[in-house]
Amino acid sequence: MAYSQEDRPDEVLRDPFVNRGTAFKPTERAQMGLAGRLPPRVETIEEQVARIVQSVRAKTDSLERYTYLSAIQNENETLFFRAVTDNLREFLPLIYTPTVGQACLDWSRLYVRPRGLYLTAEHHSKITDILLGWPQRDVGIIVVTDGGRILGLGDLGANGMGIPIGKLALYSACAGVPPSQCLPVMLDVGTDTQSVREDPLYLGRRVPRLAGEAYAAFVDTFLTAVQQVFPDAIVQFEDFNNANAFGLLARYRDRLCCFNDDVQGSGAMGLAGLYSSGRITHRQMAQERILFVGAGEACLGIGAAVVAAMQREGLDPEQARSRCLFIDSKGTVVSTRSDLAAHKRAFAQDIAPLPDLVSTIDAFRPTVLFGACGRAGVFTQPVLQAMTRSCDLPVVFALSNPTSKAECTAEQAYGWTGGRVIFAAGSPFDAVTIAGATHAPGQANNSYIFPGVGLGILVSGASRVTDAMFLTAAQALAEQVTKEDLQVGRIFPPQDKMRDVAIAVATAVAQVAWGSGLGRTSAPKDPRAAVVRAMCEPKYPG
């Protein structure tokens, strides 16, 4: 949006896509009527970023840092993303996991300024008009949640809006997607968490969660409206509960350009971690035996990706599935159980149920242990020591977020095994020194996958998102792990390499789209260069 001297200065300063604060030049201040409205010194964006970094470091609480950075984002999008892009390793944990979990718990208390759309059942007949009223017309990516399963925290209702906002911030910071193309959406269908509904400050609908045909009709109306208003937009489903996530993906994946990050993004992330760890263990994918503690979207998504990868290495589907064993909240996922949902039944094994995690490890002899169950501390010392009995160099993923929900910490993983483990976690952990050897845990987070996937789809104009795109994204991510990373046990790149990762992933995804005939743009001679050109750099014009 362009402003002239006829515009009120307040409108300029309140528009985060235009506001530059103290970086407005004297001629711009005169043109826009800003004389006297700003301190007299004109700063560069680098000087503004230095002030932000200093202010962030002066604060002692992560949530306070999150709130401060959110205020910057609401005031000046360009400055916010420049600060984050220049300080990825330091700022990503503040604007997303693990801090965003606490922000969601406190969302109704932290709320200051609207961002994105909150759609309720009362809007059912008006959703198209609401989308038409969104001020940005070039929307390319919509991240939508219904708050049904926020990280490992459960049903938070409208408080889950922090997730779409945070995911889209990563799209811009890591993959250079312009903020104007990003739209966060909360489908407020109520919440079944009584403590949330009874919170006197809760800003969402204080009703039980919509379900059944009424829920399906509401979501369908929303997605139909998206296709009408933003026909080229990607829809990313985020943090829906298991009961809805798999059904929505199956219903819409062939009808519009969409994907479920918790299922497909997690699958690619987990697969990439296994490709990387294999360079340390020298085990082929088809040799791994994988135990999953949790049978929700993340673990089942990783399981599906692993089975596909094993088939590429020559196993038949049944052989591949037999190498993946799942444990859910009711025990081992076995074929004799009558309570299994369809998405779990495909992975049920014809074995006797086992009484506990240690005995399961001793019987199944896994080489890899994944945890995404949201139960803190479930990877106890006996569990981790059982993994070292199972194989010489086990791989352990403690994926649950936020940090308070992690199945174990890096210090526990390395300490209880004498450093005989390759470890990665959903939250960042510091390096650990055991017997003089330094072990650097990688952060196993979907932020290595979805920004690049989305960027690749935008660049190629892909009409659909396919499993092949996520398989190639996993390979591209794994290739970004260096020998130096592997020497300290890190199986994901450092976070300050996120933009390089996004370029590699986007290039691979775009090539799959063009190669499969799904791209609506023509394949360029240099796909990587096309991806880099599409990335927005956070800087002021002129």
CA distances from residue 139 to 124, 162, 168, 179, 492 in whole angstroms, order as listed: 21, 19, 12, 9, 31
Dist CA 408 CA 429 (whole Å): 11
Mean pLDDT, residues 283-307 taken together = 97
Spatial distance between the Cα atoms of 185 and 200, rounded to a whole number of angstroms: 23
Give the CATH H-level superfamily of domain 264-444.
Answer: NAD(P)-binding Rossmann-like Domain (3.40.50.720)
**Residue 270 carries which side chain, given as an amino acid letter?**
G
Which of 3, 66, 118, 167 is catalytic? The answer is 167
Q: Any catalytic annotation for residue 96?
A: yes
Residue type, 277: S
Which ranges of 282-380 would DSSP assign to H, the alpha helix?
297-312, 317-322, 342-345, 357-364
Q: CA-to-CA distance for 506 and 306, rounded, in angstroms?
A: 21
> Amino acid identity of 458?
L
Tokens of 388: 């070292």
Q: What is the pLDDT confidence band of residue 196, given thresholds at 50, 70 and 90?
A: very high
Q: Encode pLDDT of 343-368 as tens digits.
A: 899 999 999 998 999 999 999 999 99
Q: Dihedral of CA 458/448/238/466: which sign? A: positive
Query: Following DSSP, what letter does each residue of 159-189 receive, concatenated?
Result: GGGHHHHHHHHHHHHHH---GGGEEEEEEE-
Q: Which percentage of the chain shows pLDDT scores above 90?
A: 95
CATH number at 99-256? 3.40.50.10380
167 is catalytic: yes
Fold of 448-534: Rossmann fold (3.40.50)
Looking at residue 308, what is its pLDDT? 96
Give residue limits of the domains in the chain. 9-94, 99-256, 264-444, 448-534
Choosing from 3, 66, 96, 202, the catalytic residue is 96
The pLDDT of 217-227, averaged and rounded, is 98
Total length of the chain: 542
pLDDT level of residue 406 (50, 70, 90 thresholds): very high
CA distance 235 to 458: 12
Cβ contacts of 436 within 8 Å, gap of 6 or more: none
Q: Which two tokens mark 98?
A: 């693990």
Q: Which residue has the tokens 């976070």?
A: 495
pLDDT-wise least confident of 337-341, 395-399, 481-485: 337-341
Contact 499, 447 (CB under 8 A): no
pLDDT at 257: 98
> What is the per-residue pLDDT for 10?
87
- Helix, strand, coil shares of the chain, percent, nearest 5, are 50, 10, 40
Architecture of domain 9-94: Up-down Bundle (1.20)
Name the residue with tokens 């649950």: 400
Per cent of the chain over pLDDT 70 is 99
d(C-alpha 346, C-alpha 364), whole Å:
18
CB atoms within 10 A of CB 338: 5
Of 115, 112, 98, nearest to 62 (Cα)? 98
Higher pLDDT, 491 or 243: 491
Per-residue tokens: 216 = 């399906």
In three-state secondary structure terms, 223 is helix
pLDDT of res. 415? 97
Number of H helices, E strands in the chain: 25, 14
Dist. CA 312–CA 67, nearest whole Å: 46
What is the predicted pLDDT for the residue at 6?
52
Across the chain, what does the average pLDDT equal? Answer: 96
**One fold for both 9-94 and 99-256?**
no
pLDDT value, residue 188? 98
Reported as a pLDDT band with limits 50, 70 and 90, residue 7 is low
| pLDDT score at 470 | 98
Q: Quick one: average pLDDT of 502-518?
A: 98
Q: Is 200 exposed, middle or buried (0-12, 13-18, 19+ CB in 10 A)?
A: exposed
Task: Give 141's pLDDT tier (boundaries 50, 70, 90).
Answer: very high
CA-based R_g, the chain, Å: 23
pLDDT-derived band of residue 283, with 50, 70 and 90 as boundaries?
A: very high
412, 437 contact by CB (below 8 A): no
Compute how many other C-beta atoms are within 10 angstroms of the C-beta atom of residue 507.
23
Q: What is the pLDDT of residue 9?
A: 85
pLDDT confidence bin for 2, thresholds 50/70/90: low
Using CA atoms of 147, 268, 402, 535 in order, give the dihedral in degrees to the nearest 10.
-80
The burial class, CB within 10 Å (0-12 / 13-18 / 19+), for 331 is middle
Residue-wise burial string across 24-58, b where 16 or more C-beta atoms lie within 10 A, e elsewhere: beeebbebbbbeeebeeeebebeebbeebeeebee
User: Which residue type, as a one-letter code, is found at position 132?
Assistant: L
CA atoms within 13 A on the CB side of 393: 10
**Mean pLDDT to the nearest integer, 182-198:** 98
**pLDDT tens digits, one per residue of 408-444:** 999 999 999 999 999 999 999 999 999 899 999 999 9
Please check the confidence at residue 1 and state whether its pLDDT lies above 60. Answer: no
Q: What does the longest C-alpha to C-alpha distance in the chain come to?
A: 78
Mean per-residue pLDDT, 181-185: 98
Q: Which residue has the tokens 């043109």?
A: 31
| Residue 522 confidence (pLDDT) | 94
